[in-house]
Amino acid sequence: MVERADVVVVGAGIIGCATSYYLAQRGLDVVVVEREHVAAGSTGRCPGGIRMQWSTEEHIRLAMKSVEIFEGLSEELGVDTEYRQGGYLIIAKTEEEVRAFEENMRLQRSLGVPVRWLEPSEIREMVPQLDVEGIGALGAAWNPRDGYANPFKVAYGYARAARRMGVRFLLGTEVRRVLVEEGQVRGVETDRGRIRAEYVVNAAGAWSREVAETAGVRLPNRPFRHEILVTEPIERFLEPMVICFHDNVYFRQSEEGTILGGWGDPGERPGYNFRSSLRFLTTFSRLLKRYVPALGHLRVVRQWAGLYDVTPDAKQITGPVEGVDGFIQANGFSGHGFMMGPATSLLVAQLIAGEPLDLPIEPFLLSRFERGEVVGEASVVG
């Protein structure tokens, strides 16, 4: 049993695995404590989308940094992450959306995102199988540098690389308490013993709030079920990820040729619900058939559920908290943890190692809620 480390990372999803990797790169001694196994939580249930098309500057910058990392990641980790810049096609269905997209695109372009507006005819040219009229698309925002990757390959790739640098992964082990003494983190108490450390990174995803509570820190995160399904494979025809905020739907084609997609139920209540619903199966199928009529015959093979770890402004909570030194948050990703993961994890490692940060984390500090500096992220889907 491990007794001591420089940093304990709670959770082995994308955040835990990547953070431990970047910390080890900087010479720190790290232990990752995970209740189940690598990517057993939200990371292992997500469709792997990676986009820069956000409505706030901090999200756009962070996502761009992640994309930069993803672009070189297969080589860096020595694993095929299946990262593809197939682009994101964000369908607009109302005049209000068209106007909002115009504003978003202006901001995105000012930061270097190569996004542009597509007319319905251009959407049809790009993906002829999309029933543009049937959907009632007024146009779409298109960024060819958006894309997707395989979340299993990425998380396990980071974990393997981290292990090779000496990171110890304690799987099947639960953190019971974060140990705090005189306002300073002392380590964690697990169900297999105590680990002393000066830093604890809270990367427990949908369970981050519980972990923080043991340290006397209150997080505003709430877990929401989101369902997703996968079909049998079909010949590759779809390069972009297609999303629509109005219909709250998204889908893409995987490396294997299967269609992966989800729909967000606006009536979903917070909770730890992993059950699959008929409502999701029928509603998403109806939407998919409307978007791509030719997929009617394609068989749904499996549906499952995962949790979004949601904060009041749909933005992550990252960095230190007041009152407990050494307790670093890296959670609250509200459905975009996989894509923001690499960049955020790098920033957390830089922070702990005492290096200058590549990007500011002020917008993501927990204290923003107390200071009343809350500007919500609008571009959330699924």
Binding interface with other proteins (CB under 8 A): 36-40, 44, 152, 156, 159-160, 169, 171-172, 231-232, 256, 263, 265-267, 276, 278-283, 285-286, 288-289, 295-304
Which residues are CB-neighbours of 95 under 8 A, at least 6 positions away?
138
Closest CB to other proteins among 37 and 124? 37
For residue 279, the minimal CB distance to other proteins (Å) is 5
Return the number of the residue (134 or 216) whose C-beta is nearest other proteins: 134
User: How far apart are CB 293 and other proteins at their closest, in Å?
Assistant: 9
Q: Which of 305, 308, 304, 302 is nearest to 338 (CA)?
A: 308
Task: Mention every residue, 6+ apart, whose C-beta is less than 8 A from residue 117.
Answer: 101, 102, 105, 139, 140, 141, 142
Residue 373 CA, distance from chain mean position: 23
Place of tokens 């979903």: 268
| Distance of closest approach, residue 145 Cβ to other proteins, in angstroms | 27
CB of 34 to other proteins, least distance (A): 11
Q: With respect to other proteins, which residue has the nearer C-beta, 46 or 180?
A: 46
CA angle 339, 350, 332 (to 5 degrees): 40
Residues 240 and 272 sit within 8 Å (Cβ to Cβ):
no
> What are the backbone angles phi and psi of residue 233, rounded to the nearest 5°?
-75, 155
Quickly tell me which residue has 């960095």 as its tokens.
319
CB atoms within 10 A of CB 376: 12
Q: Which is nearer to other proteins, 74 or 276 (CB)?
A: 276
- CB of 196 vs other proteins, minimal distance in Å: 24
User: Could you tell me the smallest distance in angstroms from the CB atom of residue 108 to other proteins?
Assistant: 30
Residues 187 and 10 sit within 8 Å (Cβ to Cβ) = no
Task: Evaluate whether 217 touches 25 at the Cβ level (below 8 Å).
Answer: no
- Least separation in angstroms between residue 378's CB and other proteins is 21
**CB nearer other proteins, residue 30 or residue 60:** 30
Using the minimum distance from each CB to other proteins, give the nearer residue, 64 or 130. Answer: 130
When the beta carbons of 100 and 281 are compared against other proteins, the nearer one is: 281
SS3 117: strand
